[in-house]
Amino acid sequence: MLFSSKISNSFFTFIDRNQLNEEPLDSLIDVPEEFLRNPSSWLDAGRMESFLYQFSKHYGDVIETVGLASPDLRAWGVLDGVLRMMSSPQDLFMQPDRILSYFISPAPIVRNAQIRNAKSDQDSISFEAPFSRNEYPLCAAYLLAALESLPAYMGRPAANGKWDDKIVELRFAENQPNLFGEDGGGQQINPQFLQSLVQSLETSQKDLEEKNRELVEKNNELNLAQKELRSKFKYTVQNEKLSNLSEIAAGLAHEVNNPLAYVMSNLLRLNDYLARGQQLITILVGQDRMTPQVREAMRRMDWEFITNEYPSVVREASDGLQRVRDIVKDLSYLAGPKFAQASEKVQSDLNQIAENAIKMVNANLPTHASIKKNLKLERTVTVIPGRIEQALVNLLNNAAQAVGESGTVKVSTYIKGELASIEIEDDGTGMDPETLSHIFTPYFTTKQPGRGTGLGLSIVHSIVEMHDGHIDVKSEKGKGSKFTIDLPLNP
């Protein structure tokens, strides 16, 4: 499901109107600001929900405030003009699917996400929305407030609404004129407007094809860069004994980041272009305006084939980009400083850090596998918490994969002389001596292609060394593995 950037643009407009500091928005989510500010763009539901969460975190609980202020903000682009041209209030609510289709794609009147159980009387209307409020609570809160504000476009009082699970109910103010009178009349589409929709559809298709060609070319470049990256990195490790690993990793990560950012941006555009095309088709179908010109345009561009193939193409491209992104992230991590500055370290509770790491891994743990805790460290340790947590997450992920569907992972903390010790032990597959001798070598992995980068344990080793610590491994084939990290109590 996609949400329209009319939503995010409303919040940028709110910031501009109130002269708030825009700087915190730079790191909200990994989406270019041009998409968030463009009311004709579309983002997947998860990214939009994340944007609203981060916005609320930085600026306070203003979701409903922004939604109710929609008529004044004029942040919806063309939709603002459409709403102000409505001939009567009932046009706003008689067809809730049409209103929601401006914000949700695929639109509510297609596929299985259609508006159901719509009921109305002189004072209220209720209907079943295409998603539950529990799925995207912040997006739902904004949309409800935006729906409540619609009568204001005609100078009428705002409605009162509530959204429980999938049921949306809007109740009009006592002095609100009857929105369902017999004088409502139907709304006609201007022929010139219909022609412009067809032209926009054809233009979007051409843009889609062009961006797709660019995406394929950049993907090929990216694949070649990735192969070169692996080859150069392995050669360097074998011949330079990791002496200049940081310099090479930083350079290669920088080289890959440029085409990666370009391809990711184009993939967002590709997704956005088809969403726009779907919205145009939705409007035409919903209004029973499938003229011969529209049908011919759809036939020429093979619209049915595009809509069938598009999701799998985008999904595969997105998965590939995510994998490359993970590799670059790991490289950047390896390329970081090998010695932590004293100012970066803080007195930390290793037990709590271990708890946090366990929570992160639990979501990916097989159903019948378990993690047992024995956290007895009663003193704080001077560390960089985020780095130690990353090391534990990497070790726990490896252990979870090793135990399979029904094994056990044990996590222990304790004091050993002047050292704080963390043990992660599993009863999984274990390792033979040959594998054990290479586990901290970058890009060494026993996993199937596509399942791992071979950098996880290298990063763990770098983090432990950064803290003047030591990591020890004991393992036997078929009997599991035990990793022990020792950190100085008084560095």
Prediction pTM value: 0.43
Closest CA to 457 of 440, 482, 443: 440
State the DSSP H helix or E strand holding residue 124, giving kind and residue range, or none if neither. strand 124-128
Query: Cα separation of 417 and 27, whole Å?
Result: 43
- Per-residue confidence (pLDDT) for residue 112, from 0 to 100: 41
Q: Per the omega criterion (within 30 degrees of 0), is the bond before 106 cis? A: yes
User: Amino acid letter at 207?
Assistant: D
Query: Cα separation of 110 and 115, whole Å?
Result: 9
The segments of the chain whose pLDDT lies below 70 read 23-29, 77-78, 85-97, 107-118, 120, 122, 173-209, 212, 230-254, 286-287, 289, 323, 326-343, 442-444, 446-454, 491
Are residues 404 and 369 in contact, defined by beta-carbon separation less than 8 angstroms?
A: yes
Query: Cα separation of 330 and 458, whole Å?
Result: 9
- Per-residue confidence (pLDDT) for residue 453, from 0 to 100: 56
Q: Domain boundaries in the chain?
A: 2-171, 191-334, 342-488
Are residues 233 and 249 in contact, defined by beta-carbon separation less than 8 angstroms?
A: yes
Q: Is 472 helix (H, G, I), strand (E, B) or coil?
A: strand
In angstroms, the Cα distances linking 299 to 71, 201, 281, 306, 308 are: 39, 12, 13, 11, 14
- According to CATH, what is the number of the domain 2-171? 3.90.1520.10
Report H helices in 131-244: 137-149, 191-240
- Per-residue confidence (pLDDT) for residue 95, from 0 to 100: 65
Are residues 415 and 422 in contact, defined by beta-carbon separation less than 8 angstroms?
A: no
Strands 167-171, 160-164: pairing kind: antiparallel
- Per-residue confidence (pLDDT) for residue 150, from 0 to 100: 84
- Per-residue confidence (pLDDT) for residue 136, from 0 to 100: 93
- 2: which strand partners? 44, 105
Residues 226-262: pLDDT tens digits? 777 766 665 455 445 444 555 666 666 667 777 777 7
Q: What percent of the chain has pLDDT over 70?
A: 71
Q: How many CA atoms, within 13 angstroms, populate the side-chain half-sphere of residue 205?
A: 20
Residues 63-101: pLDDT tens digits? 999 999 988 888 776 677 777 766 555 556 666 667 777
Classify domain 342-488 at the CATH class level: alpha beta
